[in-house]
Structure 1
């Protein structure tokens, strides 16, 4: 075993550094970690997935599995940090932490730190540019939109900030007590010093008067490109030309569909400091009640462990009241019947002492006192770097402007470097508990009974040792996504004749050990042993013959046994 990697969680890795780090874990712990590319991005970068499990206790695909991904949106780089931190938590905890050891002995973790490597690489470039997800041009460029303000780092300081320009008809003014802070003019106000605020960037085709912010030529949103509830550009911006049209999404979809052992997943985004649960496309009233209750229970547990409030996308986190937003979480649940959450990491509001704010509506309108709290946070906790002081700049088209304002990438969309590790360290305990709650098929016992005349009765008994049922969600049952326990006996030996029972057949769905009713329920549990099942066969074979038995459930894993007839 080589030396354990010592990653820095205060720095966002470029693609080459990410690749090197993942392979360092695999080289240091080959029995726990393997790394493979699940596909190539648009620009040809590998999309890496680390498979984490103790291979000495079974093959990865024969264990129940949990998926985690990050950084599907280009500048949401802390998502990558969260997945890398979890990888380090698992590898460093194995053999030291009892729960982590049990987790890797019995489950598999598929970890994809960066789903949009091209977009992230652009955000981390020496002269950065911010796109939503991929670097592919979408939709087709309108020639009229080629002119205007291109958002970019124009003063070469490695940041994309804002520009303020004196204008008597501008909608903004300096705060009376804090001139660095720009606040809105009040109703009917005139006679003051006013400004226009523009994104930092250069202007092409400037007519000396009017300015339009040029739409980014890369407006794809990979999170809207998943198959479930996909809608075209006129209904859902950035969704692409057809479902899974983009190589990054296609790679993830193909991998997940090829691994039916995945029963739960989390995707890390930024920002807001919330846990989001399905559905995004329908209300709680339209969900299967048992699945809703399961989501709520796990979400509440997540809140208790992380301090992040748990919200419904449909009810609590819409960008506009009339907007319906689909995405990865709806695909995982609706098409696969798996549990899924989106975590929006990091809340600068919370850091600044702002509480009880409306999540999305805050960005439309909020009290100026919140801005002052955020500015104090920048000064006192971030060395004045979250809100950059305005500096004069000779703009090539506009002349004298000032550049400053909020640093979106490093302090707003992502935590400042010194806070990144603490922010992502909230989540491993919750992820461990979800993964350990997944169904797990366990061997209960085998029995051999001699019936005389080289005839034998063989029994294989199993149980679901997980908290969740083997099917994970009721939707998976309704959509016929998962089978019951598949029992199999190996009768390939010509000396063995199967007299009763099928060589391979489907048994029942197994419940987990989660209580299904209160002890004070109005009626008793009708099947108190619904976590148990057995298969029985009758064979003719000579004494001393060894026969292999197998039981497998799509999401609960596989067990094998070998009996000797005696």
Structure 2
């Protein structure tokens, strides 16, 4: 069994080797495919994990997880890889994992943006949001500051320059720490702080941060609620204009058995649930209750609080953003969560803070707590002491401050595995709750009515917790059909003299949606559940066929799997 290191972030070639090693080590459980190529031509890998000895992945309800759609959010790839290892190592050893892979399929995409991640992991890293394609203009802006590693130490930090009109000053008791200059304050020693990087076209007076020549945000390129650049930055030329997003969209659409999904990001240490573009009051109540149910279990398993994107996680009070989350739920009717891994604030003992507003303004005491955490638990590497540097364009500066990639956006190496190991139990729980179509007490029967005339009966039940539609929205938008029953007669002929013929019924019948075993009401509800057995359905056909004929049948629900069975007339 492969033993990947979860304290390091693999580059693309190493990631490929790891995934191939799993497929080679467990061929009955793991298959690997490239679902497309990135802008620079790298494979976008998806791993399918299921026990193929109990059926094909497409015949089973399925769960999707992805990571690393944003370039420097590298721990999200680690979370998906850790789940892969959890599944492969647990099958045959852990009863839950064994049952999960025997009855469900898991699709894992560890790195949706391989180009951006490769740039972040370069020997001299550079930060882009997602992809490396030139956007919104093919040509780069010439003048300004490019955020990158300028001193060659493999980190992108900050630069501070003494300036009497600067916005920052040294903390009175902790001079390493830069704190805001207070309103009305004058007469002190102040600094201007810039991101670390190179500068072009500096006139000695002013400069701007150069707009990224690669400003795409792949998470804004999905079809649902897509808006142009002026309304949603990084959205791309049109929905699914980017090969990475199109690859995922095409794969998911080609796999309608996917009923639930999680996308991993960093950072904040929170679980985000839909919607991003509408309030809870405007959501379908049944779906909101379902999201709240599983979100509560997410908090229980991981310790991460669950937030509504609309109500609790806006980057600006007047700004709303769409993305994968809204597409998977709003257009496909699947359950979907975004997980923002890792919270340095929480590591430093800062709790109860507003998730987004904290970055606009917060108490200096919080900065001191974070600095102590860097000193005591990270060997002083999370917050780097300021060091003089002769900048090729700006002259004498100091470089230091927070190491964004390795300690702020992502956990330090020794904490990465502990951060991602919180999630497999929750993911297992969601996947095991997906609808699952099974024969009701192995009921596929043939009852003799007359000479060579038979009644064929097929009864099925949904053994999952969720209904076969998964969400009410999927029903309302007619995204999924009811259970489709089909009888397969050899050499079918409806003529009166045929040896084999379908006499009553249609070859293909659409049955109802089936509830899962989730209770619809409390036992103390004012009225009983009017449909206490709505988790099962039966269909009958009348046929003419000679003794000894084998009659094949299928029952299929797109999100609950496919049953293949047969009866021999005797």
1:536 aligned residue (533, 540, 562)? 540
| Cα distance in structure 2, aligned partners of 1:95 and 1:13 | 28
For structure 1, the 5+ residue unaligned runs are: none
**1:371 match:** 367
User: Which structure 2 residues correspond to residues 14-413 of structure 1 after superposition, within 5 A?
Assistant: 14-140=11-137, 145-413=141-409
Which residue of structure 1 aligns with residue 564 of structure 2? 560
RMSD: 0.8
Q: 1:463: which partner in 2?
A: 461
Counterpart among 454, 459, 482 of residue 484 in structure 1 = 482
Q: Matched residues in 2 for 1:76 and 1:373: separation?
A: 24
- Write the distance in 2 (CA, Å) between the matches of 1:30 and 1:450: 44
- What are the Cα deviations for residues 471-524 of structure 1, in whole angstroms up to 9, with x where unaligned? 000110111110100101111235321111111110010000000001111111
Deviations 1:383-405 (A, max 9, x none): 00000000000111111110000
Mapped partners of 2:267, 2:337: distance in 1: 14
How many residues are paired up? 562
Runs of 4+ in 1 over 3 A off after TM superposition: none
Counterparts of 2:392 and 2:561 in 1: how far apart (Å)?
A: 63
What displacement does 1:142 show? Answer: 7.6
Per-residue CA distance 1:6-33 (angstroms, 9 max, x = gap): 0000000000000000000000000000
102-111 or 545-554, which deviates more: 545-554
* C-alpha distance in structure 2 between counterparts of 1:219 and 1:537, whole Å: 59
Quote how far apart the aligned CAs of 1:48 are: 0.1
Q: Write the mapping of 1:495-510 to structure 2, written as runs, cut at 5 A.
A: 495-510=499-514
Bigger mean CA deviation after superposition, 286-295 or 445-454: 445-454
Distance (Å, rounded) in 2 between the aligned partners of 1:401 and 1:113: 39
Task: Determine the structure 1 residue equivalent to 2:451.
Answer: 453
Q: Deviations over 1:411-434 (max 9, x none)?
A: 000000000000000000000000
SS of match in other structure, 1:157: coil
Query: Is the Cα contact below 8 Å between 2:139 and 2:213 reproduced in 1?
Result: no
CA distance in 2, matches of 1:208, 1:496: 91
Give the superposition deviation at 1:119. Answer: 0.1
User: How big is each residue's C-alpha offset from its partner over 1:244-300, in whole Å with a ceiling of 9 and x where there is no partner?
Assistant: 000000000000000000000000000000000000000011110000000011001
Greater Cα offset, 81-90 or 190-199: 190-199
Distance 1:257 1:518 in 2: 36
Alignment of 1:510-521 (within 5 A): 510-521=514-525
Q: Where do 1:412-431 residues align within 5 Å?
A: 412-431=408-427
Q: Which residue in 2 is equivalent to 1:547?
A: 551
Match of 1:5 in 2: 2
What is the rounded CA distance, in whole Å, between the counterparts of 2:394 and 2:454 in structure 1? 92
Question: Partners of 2:142 and 2:354 in 1: how far apart?
Answer: 36
How many angstroms apart in 1 are the aligned matches of 2:243 and 2:159?
36
SS in 2 for 1:146: coil
Give 1:542 shift.
1.1
| Secondary structure, counterpart of 2:519 in structure 1 | coil
Deviation digits for residues 184-237 of structure 1 (CA, Å, limit 9, x no counterpart):
111211111111001111111111111211111110000000000000001000
CA distance in 1, matches of 2:194, 2:164: 15
Partner of 1:526: 530
CA–CA distance in 2 between the matches of 1:477 and 1:362?
Answer: 40
- Return the TM-score normalized by structure 2: 0.98
Alignment gaps of 5+ in structure 2: 493-498
2 CA distance for matches of 1:190 and 1:321? Answer: 32
Distance 1:287 1:251 in 2: 29
